[in-house]
Amino acid sequence: MKNILFIASECVPFIKTGGLADVIGSLPKYLNKEEFDVRIIIPKYACISEEYKSKMQYLTHFYMQLAWRNQYVGIMEMEYDGIKCYFIDNEYYFQGWGPYGNIYEDVEKFAFFCRAALSALPNIGFRPDIIHCHDWQTGLVPVYLHDAFQNNEFFRGIKTIMTIHNLKFQGIWDKKTIKDITGLSDYYFAPDKLEAYGDANYLKAGIVYADYVTTVSRSYAEEIKYPFYGEGLDGLMNARSNCLCGIVNGLDYEEYNPETDPYIYKNYSAMTFRKEKVKNKHGFQQELGLAIDERKFMIGICSRLTDQKGFDLIDCVIEEICAEDTQLVVLGTGTEKYENLFRHFAWKYPDRVSANIYYSNERSHKLYASCDAFLMPSLFEPCGLSQLMSLRYGTIPIVRETGGLKDTVYPYNEYENTGTGFSFANYNAHEMLATIRYAKRVYYDKKREWNKLIDRAMAQDFSWNNSAKQYEELYYRLLS
């Protein structure tokens, strides 16, 4: 039996701001229980709901040296879905309405968390063979393991993996402050270690000191070796390319299942979608106050409304997208100018455009089940889960060929009758528009071909089973 410890800053169902939480909450459940004892450590944020806090049990507490500070570390535990979860408690660091705040507070908070998570291990009597770290918030774990904890027999020989969920976020602050916070010596603040462009960089620290580095899709693992996607770390990614790989994220197929989904108007399967899927469209059109017309081509967008997600392309050609034969449904929040853009078009074309400038889990399920196509023209996309959800529900994705989108959506080929969606290569608004129009042409003029596209989309398997096997192989490789 091998012991694996996941250390992360968020985890479904306790706390979630993005896809990272889904991975931490889902992946451990799919790893082989007979061969791996997988546990999770996250912070005990004040904003975790009372429903979960009330089930946590106090294990122990101790005081820990963080540079010159002496800090309280409490450890709570609870089992959820058969996985043991530990929570690092310290009210000074983990108060507030959300898990993240100002970066200058976060760099200290997560330095504390990294050191506390390691210090807690002997107290909970769990010695991992591998510590699997996620994103910049846990970047100091491999460094501390290499530094202060090396003299302790308990920690010797523990391997580390660093998984990059989004290279854009790196945890950067000035060297002097980080030195003071972390208590690490000058040795670590060199350009081949923590230092990057004059500042200290947590993610870089994790990438340099981890035994292995992964990211969340094969294409993204290649892309980040180039300056355009590398966010200033492309040189380092090339230097570590012999122990860098991409494993695409999975989707929780129990939660996202059109046959059993309690949120949608009418359940359907790959066998029954031809008759039943359209009933979701009718219900959704009615709920949103759009024209009730099954012939309209309905495009869905469920996303953070930011530049990374390609909204500047949509902004450029939105008038053409909202043609008379099309309906557009948007769900999400983000940059004010994009929020207002969709509000304006919902006001201008109330029977065609619905702007839902908030997030609702229930409405997102309805969107995936009801729309004909799902638009995701990202500038870069480490993995992306929305396209996996839309495939699962037989809603055809229209994506840009980047990162995880390129790895999971196979472009439609009308001559070979293959593909599960539509894609375009260049980051160009008119190329995107041409692709949307092509999809629309197939939808209107080749209904049988469109239905076969849906057949192929719904037959794809992007469940966690597949990805979990690849992680298991990686764990074995590291431990051999």
Say if 2-250+465-479 and 273-461 have the same CATH topology.
yes
Proportion of the chain above pLDDT 90, given as a percent: 97
Alpha-carbon distance 56 to 362, whole Å? 27
Residue 411 exposure: Cα atoms within 13 Å on the Cβ side:
13
Predicted pLDDT at 462 = 96
Banded model confidence at residue 19, pLDDT cuts 50, 70, 90:
confident
For the chain, domain boundaries: 2-250+465-479, 273-461
Our CA angle for 233, 137, 362, nearest 5°, is 105
Predicted pLDDT at 18 = 83
Going by the DSSP 8-state scheme, the letter that residue 378 receives in this structure is -
What's the whole-model pTM score?
A: 0.94
The average pLDDT across 85-100 equals 96
Query: Which string of b and e fits 295-331 if b means at least 16 CB within 10 Å?
Result: ebbbbbbbbebbeebbbbbbeeebeebbbeebbbbbb
Is residue 76 pLDDT above 90, yes or no?
A: yes
Q: Any residues with CB less than 8 A from the CB of 194 and at least 6 apart, and which?
A: 143, 175, 178, 184, 188, 200, 201, 202, 204, 205, 208
CATH number assigned to the domain covering 2-250+465-479: 3.40.50.2000
| Tens-digit pLDDT profile for residues 23-67 | 999 999 999 999 999 999 999 999 999 999 999 999 999 999 999
Query: Which string of b and e fits 381-412 if b means at least 16 CB within 10 Å?
Result: bbbbbbbbbbbbbbbbbbbbebbbbbbbbbbb
Beta bridge partners of 396: 373
| Tens-digit pLDDT profile for residues 395-436 | 999 999 999 999 999 999 999 999 999 999 999 999 999 999
| Higher local confidence (pLDDT), 17 or 93 | 93
| Tens-digit pLDDT profile for residues 297-343 | 999 999 999 999 999 999 999 999 999 999 999 999 999 999 999 99
| Domain at 273-461, CATH from 3.40.50.2000, 3.30.410.40, 3.40.50.720, 3.40.50.12780 | 3.40.50.2000
| Tens-digit pLDDT profile for residues 241-250 | 999 999 999 9
| Tens-digit pLDDT profile for residues 437-463 | 999 999 999 999 999 999 999 999 999
| Tens-digit pLDDT profile for residues 208-232 | 999 999 999 999 999 999 999 999 9
Is residue 467 pLDDT above 90, yes or no?
A: yes
Going by the DSSP 8-state scheme, the letter that residue 188 receives in this structure is G
Query: Per the structure block, which two tokens stand in for 317?
Result: 């050609």
Query: Per the structure block, which two tokens stand in for 348?
Result: 């201008």
Alpha-carbon distance 129 to 152, whole Å? 15
| Tens-digit pLDDT profile for residues 241-300 | 999 999 999 998 988 999 999 999 999 999 999 999 999 999 999 999 999 999 999 999
Predicted pLDDT at 6 = 98
Banded model confidence at residue 17, pLDDT cuts 50, 70, 90:
confident
Is residue 74 pLDDT above 90, yes or no?
A: yes
